[in-house]
Amino acid sequence: MRAVDFRTPTVGLDSVEHEARLLRLWEGDSGLKGFFGTVDHKRIGIRYIVTAFAFLALGGIEALVMRWQLARPNNTFLTPDQYNQLFSTHGMTMIFLYAGPILSGFSNYVWPLLIGSRDMAFPRMNALSYWVYLAAGIFLYVGFLTGNGPNDGWFNYVPYASRDYNPGLNEDFYALGMVFLGISTTVGAANFVVTAFRTRAPGMSINRLPIMVWGTLTASVANLLVIPAVSLAFLLLWLDRQYGTHFFDTNAGGQPLLWQHLFWIFGHPWVYAIVLPAMGMVSDGLPVFCRRPLVGYSLVALATVATMIFGFGVWVHHMFATGLPTLGLSFFSGASIAIVFPSAVAVFAWLATIWLGRPVITTAFMFFSSMIILFVIGGVSGFMTASVPVDWQLTDTYFVVAHLHYVLIGINVFPVLGATYFWFPKMTGRMLDERLGRWNFWLTFIGFNLAFLPMHLTGLLGMPRRVYTYNSDMGWDTLNLITTIGSFVLALGILLFVVNVLKSLRAGAPATANPWDAPTLEWSVPSPPPPYNFAVIPTVASRHPLWESRLKEDTVVSSLDRGLLLDEGKETVGTTALDAAPDMILEMPEDTVAPLLLAAGLAIVFIGLLLKIWSVVIIGGLITGLAILSWMWPRRELREREATHA
Amino acid sequence: MSATPLSYLDSAGARADTILPLTWFTIAVSVIVCVVIAILLWIAVARGTSSHDVDIRRVPVDRSGNGLRWINIGLAISAVPLLVTLVWTMVALAHAAGPPSNPALTIDVTPHQWWWGVRYNGKQPSDIFDTANEIHIPTGVPVLVRLHGADVIHSFWVPKLTGKTDAIPGQINLSWMQATAPGRYSGECTEYCGAQHAHMGLEVVAESPADFEHWRAGQLEAAPAATSASLQHGQQVVEYRCGLCHQVRGTRAGAQSGPDLTHLMSRRTLAAGVLPNNAGTVAAWIQTAQELKPGTLMPDQFLTSQELLDVQAYLETLK
């Protein structure tokens, strides 16, 4: 039983003295101690974003090297082994080290601001998930840079990944790195789920959540359910490789298809996990620039959840050619076709929002709105692969490569770039340059489509994926050259984005608190926000707290400058899961290096496992234990208080 | 050979024929959807935009129009092609899953890193023979292909005749094909299988039943006896060197970890499609396989020039 403290929190108005008191409470340590010990979701979010963009750049450079090799037939720029490690590392980087973490970064930064909280539910776990992500990313890249990168594609089918065919350390780096990275994703997902259900501002009932919160929440629940499958798969693979177990070894009763099931039970929901939050960015961002609320909020929120529920029942569409019984295939085929419906809800909601609104063309709007057509192109090609007999022809050709790039670049990168233009002023207090932004957008858009639209035809003309070269008598020469040119134009567009960010950081126009006149809570606080986010915890009465006077949708109005003060400690409010009625005072932790220490301990454990040096594993385990001990050590000031219900 | 030998936008046999119209239908639906949405998006942006460089904070906010109609109508229209596709998929799947009648011929195909082992079955043990990378079939009848996994996963694909079926260790997967007219149809391995996945082609040669029987009878023959001292020397080298991995029926070369060479020169290509097959390329392949197909399990042989000439001459007799 937990001792319960009661305290009735004060409700009051914001004031200068109040803000000064909060600043003293929330301002983290300065210097190196603050750098390594911070638990501020804003600093962690920006670290996530910067790290993920760095991995995007690395994955992009790998792609350019591959496109150089494929620009003409029978090219010998790369050896087969170099090419195979490059395409595997490119996939691993983009899917695991960029696409997921970049969305975690944005959600980390904006969630508490969107939902009127002073931080995530578990700030130290937040720091842990970042440090583990960084450590796992470095771990995986040490493999690549020492010539031991993954070489069996990102989905890593056995038996090619087994020791008989793959004797090097390549697959050990990948297997252990993925188990390691899974810790970060799991910790982060748990944090998002609790944050969404327990730390929303009073009055922000579940039907007032921004769609991006719905997206990340749905993705996080899915991650909690499916990450164990992939972590298990990689662990079994490592045991097969290093300890002679036979999970995937047919000679001893194992099954190669077990790998594919475990991987895709994770893999397909993961695809939705890396697009649903990004679709949420569009659902929240587009209406701002269309000057009207999103059409069909409830349907879009439900469609987000429905997509994921369907998403659990479609993994076998990656395995249509594996010889499974056709009755089973037809179920997964039907489910994969049906998943078009929730996606169509989002598309028509966005279209109607633009049609009925007064669109203001900004760079962010261009990225968000162009995403709609890229989403549709990626969607219809997915619908084609959902039909089993058609997929028997399409699968493992460049058609699928085109499809998945429309999904990942179209539905992840484009919204993320738009979201950067949208939220950069909030994060930095400076606007990104709109003129450079136009160049950035058009080069990215034209380059991307030039590279990947013709690639559908390359696939229909039969070019198999994952080939390091091809003959000139196959009819693919011109198409491949066009794709290579397009990919370099796309890279130029991304380069301009980086230039714009660096330039605007130093010399961008200063941003006001709400430069876009947007409706949600993050725009009610200064740009950049103070460490405590909200001086008083807002009380929310609608989905658009800052547009209420103009939309006249409720007789009750949100209260932004009068609310819970919570200035007697580092505190925020805990609310009930559905109605967001205030429930308890959450005591938030101070800066601490325990998460960093824990991540470092884990990294040492994984290095020890990789090299099979047990003394290193034990040292890493001891550091991990110490970090947990210092983390969990009871502290009186962290005891939660239940508010008396007045 | 067509200009795009692996294209599946045309077909040449019953199984691929069943799939092709559905492929075209889904392509048509997809293109129409993309065009319609692109036009709607374009109009939506164009009609509402007042002027450029407007300060967003001066544009009023309101909630106008019944947007839900868009979603309702949009979903209703989308449902039609989706349902048609669903039903058509099930029908096509039922037709394409298995051959329409009992197969006239069963072939066991075992893909290896990076070549295709092919075994023809017969009623008698003496009717069974092996070949590699080139599959002959009679036209007009369904042919069953049993796919065996030997090392890693590969996928059998002859786009003009049949979609993909994986060959997975520990299980036997079935595919089938039926060619309408005589011709050569290209195939490829389409599951990533290691260093030389890019060079793992196969060829299906469809020929009239009479031609097929003629070919089959020829393949059943053992290798001809070496008739000169030079050929005998060639055969000797083949037995002691090549015979460690390859089989030449009728000689002491009896291993089966590489392609069967008994009728090597009857095949059009060498090394699973890497080279055209003639005396010159055979010699080049023997001496510099690692350069021609880096990573192949065939080692460079370093034969003396006399050995090479004799081996070359001997192999040329394996028609």
Mutation target for A interface from B17, B34, B192: give the one with most A CBs within 10 A.
B192
| C-alpha to C-alpha distance for B148 and B152, rounded to whole angstroms | 11
Q: Is B101 exposed, middle or buried (0-12, 13-18, 19+ CB in 10 A)?
A: exposed
**If we measure between CA atoms, which residue out of A62, A228, A220, A55 comes closest to residue A139?**
A55
Write the residue in A337, A377, A550 that is nearest to B85 by C-beta.
A337
pLDDT for residue A3: 46
Q: Which of A381, A372, A511, A357 is nearest to A434 (CA)?
A: A511
pLDDT average, residue stretch A207-234? 97
Nearest to A359 by CA among B56, B212, B108: B56
3-state secondary structure of B67: coil
Task: Using the Cα atoms of residue A221, residue A223, residue A229 and residue A232 in order, give the sign of their dihedral.
Answer: negative
- How many other C-beta atoms are found inside a 10 Å radius of the C-beta of residue B214? 12
Tokens of A30: 């300065």
In the numeric block, which tokens belong to residue A390? Answer: 């058609």
Contact B316, B280 (CB under 8 A): no
pLDDT range class, residue A12, cuts 50, 70, 90 = very high
Distance CA A171, CA A101 (A): 22
A-B CB pairs within 8 A amount to 294
- Are the beta carbons of A358 and B59 separated by less than 8 Å? yes
Q: Do the chains contact at A160 and B153, CB–CB below 8 Å?
A: yes
DSSP assigned state of B50 = -
Among A9-18, A136-145, A376-385, the least confident range: A9-18
Taking residue A403's Cβ as centre, other Cβ atoms within 10 Å add up to 24
Run of H or E including A572: strand A571-575
- Mean pLDDT, rounded, for A474-481: 96
A253 class by beta-carbon count within 10 Å (0-12 exposed, 13-18 middle, 19+ buried): exposed
Q: For residue A169, what pLDDT band results from cuts at 50, 70 and 90?
A: very high
Contact residues, chain A, for B47 at CB < 8 Å: 355
- Segment holding A89, helix H or strand E: helix A80-92
Determine the Cα–Cα distance for residues A462 and B10; give it in Å rounded to an integer: 11
Average pLDDT over residues A518-543: 95
Task: List CB contacts of A211: < 8 A, sequence separation 6 or more.
Answer: A279, A280, A283, A284, A294, A297, A300, A301, A304
In whole angstroms, give the CA distance from residue A127 to residue A135: 12
Q: Test A389 with B37 for CB contact under 8 angstroms.
A: no
Does residue B269 belong to the interface with chain A, where contact is any CB pair within 8 Å?
no
CB of A462 closer than 8 Å to CB of A412: no
Are A456 and A472 in contact by the 8 Å Cβ rule? The answer is no
Q: Does B159 touch chain A (CB under 8 A)?
A: yes
Characterize the bridge pairing of strands A641-642 and A537-539. Answer: unpaired
Nearest to A136 by CA among A105, A103, A93: A93
Residue A396, phi-psi category: left (phi > 0), alpha (psi -120 to 50), beta (remainder): left
Please give the Cα distance from A315 to A329 (Å, whole number). 10
Q: How far apart are CA B319 and CA B312, in angstroms?
A: 13
Nearest to B159 among A79, A383, A393 (CB): A393
Q: Which residues of A touch B90 (CB under 8 A)?
A: 330, 333
> Which B positions 87-146 lie with beta carbon below 8 A of chain A?
88-90, 92-94, 96-97, 113
The pLDDT tens digits along chain B (319 residues) read: 578 999 999 999 999 999 999 999 999 999 999 999 999 999 999 987 766 678 888 888 888 887 899 999 999 999 999 999 999 999 999 999 999 999 999 999 999 999 999 999 988 899 999 999 999 999 999 999 999 999 999 999 999 999 999 999 999 999 999 999 999 999 999 999 999 999 999 999 999 999 999 999 999 999 999 999 999 999 999 999 999 999 999 999 999 999 999 999 999 999 999 999 999 999 999 999 999 999 999 999 999 999 999 999 999 999 9
Q: Is the pLDDT of residue A646 over 70?
A: no
Radius of gyration of chain B (CA): 27
Interface contact flag, B7 A460, Cβ < 8 Å = yes
Q: Is residue A352 packed enough to be buried (19+ CB in 10 Å), middle (13-18) or exposed (0-12)?
A: buried
Q: From the CA of A579, how many Å to the nearest CA of chain B?
A: 25
Q: What is the pLDDT of residue A265?
A: 96
In the block, residue with structure tokens 């109607």: A352
Please, what is the Cα angle at A29 between A23 and A30, to 5 degrees?
105
pLDDT band at A196 (very low <50, low <70, confident <90, very high): very high
B70 shares contact with chain A (CB less than 8 Å): yes
Contact A537, A116 (CB under 8 A): yes
d(CA A575, CA A107): 19
- Six-digit token pair at A172? 């050990």
Cβ contact (<8 Å) for B60 and A347? no
Distance CA(A242)–CA(A608), nearest Å, equals: 13
Cα within 13 Å of Cα(A460), Cβ side = 16
- pLDDT band per the 50, 70, 90 thresholds, residue A553: low
Largest CA distance in chain A: 80
At A642 the three-state DSSP class reads: strand
Residue in this structure with the two tokens 């725009």, named with its chain if needed: A523
Give the tens place of pLDDT for each residue, B66-75: 789 999 999 9
pLDDT in tens, A435-476: 999 999 999 999 999 999 999 999 999 999 999 999 999 999
- Structural contact between residues B192 and A153, judged by C-beta atoms closer than 8 angstroms: yes
Q: In this predicted structure, what is the pLDDT of residue A644?
A: 53
Q: Which residues pair with B174 in a beta bridge?
A: B146
Shortest alpha-carbon distance between residue A40 and chain B (Å): 31
pLDDT at residue A352 above 80? yes
- Name the pairing type of β-strands B201-207 and B134-138: parallel
Amino acid at B198: A
pLDDT tens-digit map of A269-316: 999 999 999 999 999 999 999 999 999 999 999 999 999 999 999 999
Q: Please state, for a pLDDT cut of 90, what percent of chain A lies above it.
A: 93
Using a CB cutoff of 8 Å and minimum separation of 24, what contacts does A608-615 make?
A: A609/A176, A609/A238, A610/A169, A610/A172, A610/A173, A610/A176, A612/A242
Beta-sheet pairing, A641-642 with B105-112:
unpaired
Among the partner-chain residues A79, A157, A299, the one whose CB lies closest to the CB of B71 is: A299
Q: Is the pLDDT of residue A322 over 60?
A: yes
Under an 8 A CB cutoff, do A384 and B68 touch?
A: no
Chain B hits for A296, Cβ within 8 Å = 67-68, 70-71
- For residue A639, give the 3-state DSSP assignment: coil
Pull the structure tokens for residue A598: 């824990």
The distance in angstroms from the start CA to the end CA of chain B is 23
Q: Please name the member of B34, B149, B173 whose beta carbon is closest to the beta carbon of A376.
A: B34
Residues forming a β-bridge with B201: B188
Judge: A292–B60 Cβ closer than 8 Å, yes or no: no
Name the residue among A344, A351, A362 with its Cβ closest to that of B78.
Answer: A344
- A562-593 per-position pLDDT tens digit: 999 999 889 999 999 999 999 899 999 999 99
Lowest average pLDDT, out of A218-222, A345-349, B2-6, B145-149, goes to B2-6
Q: How confident is the model at residue A1 (pLDDT cuts 50, 70, 90)?
A: very low
Residues of B in contact with A299 (CB under 8 A): 68, 71
The closest of A371, A339, A337 to B38, measured between CA atoms, is A371
> Which residue in A349, A376, A515 is closest to B37 by CB distance?
A376
State the Cα–Cα distance between residues A79 and A69, nearest whole angstrom. 9
- A262-272 pLDDT, tens digit per residue, is 999 999 999 99
> What's the mean pLDDT in A393-397?
97
**B86/A347 CB distance under 8 A:** no
Identify the closest residue of chain B to A393 by CA–CA distance: B163
Residue contact A392–B163, C-beta within 8 A: yes
Q: What is the CA radius of gyration of chain A?
A: 25
What is the reported pLDDT for B52? Answer: 66
How many other β-carbons are positioned within 10 Å of the β-carbon of residue B210?
A: 9
Chain centre distance of CA A224: 14
Is A602 in contact with A229 (CB distance < 8 Å)?
no
Residue type, B191: E
The whole-angstrom separation of Cα A128 and Cα A603 is: 12
Residue A98 has pLDDT above 90, yes or no: yes
